[in-house]
Structure formats: structure tokens, C-alpha cells
Amino acid sequence: MSTPTIPVRGEIKLGQFIKLASLAEDGAQARELIQAGDVTVNGEVETRRGHHLSAGDLVEVDAPWGKAAAIVGSAS
């Protein structure tokens, strides 16, 4: 199964991207996952919800209901 690429215009923060990519149901759930250390960006644990992502970044979530991932894409 391939990792989906989610097109994004301009900059996006980690918490926003997790919601946009449907890696979490809502902002509260995204915040909980990030604070728990269940989110990695390019293989490194990221605990800052406001971390700015760039095109090509790989975001992975290891949630209680399963693992999911998405790549930040560039919307032209």
C-alpha cells in the first residue's frame, strides 16, 4: 500500500496537516497524538503541534487504532 500525498498550498502546521490528511478525527485528537509522542516527521518524533511542514515531509501516526501516514505535497 502506498503512502498518500496530500496537496498543500503554502505552509501548514503539523496539527493542521494531521487533520487535513485524516490521520486524526479532529484537532483535539491531533493534539493528544502529538503530545503523546505518537507522531513522527521524517522519522523523528515531533511534539510541537505548531511545527511547520514542507513539501516532501513524511508524517506518520502510531495511534491506538493503527498506524497511518501521509506525505506533504505541493499544490500548484
What would the mean pLDDT of 18-45 be, rounded to a whole number? Answer: 96
Indicate whether 1 pLDDT > 80.
no
3-state SS, 45-66, equals ECCCCCCEECCCCEEEEEECCE
What would the mean pLDDT of 42-58 be, rounded to a whole number? Answer: 97
Banded model confidence at residue 29, pLDDT cuts 50, 70, 90: very high
Share of the chain above pLDDT 70, in %: 97
Say how far apart CA 11 and CA 55 lie, in whole Å: 9
- Total structural domains within the chain: 1
What would the mean pLDDT of 3-31 be, rounded to a whole number? Answer: 95
**CATH for 69:** 3.10.290.10
Range of the domain at 26: 5-74
Banded model confidence at residue 10, pLDDT cuts 50, 70, 90: confident
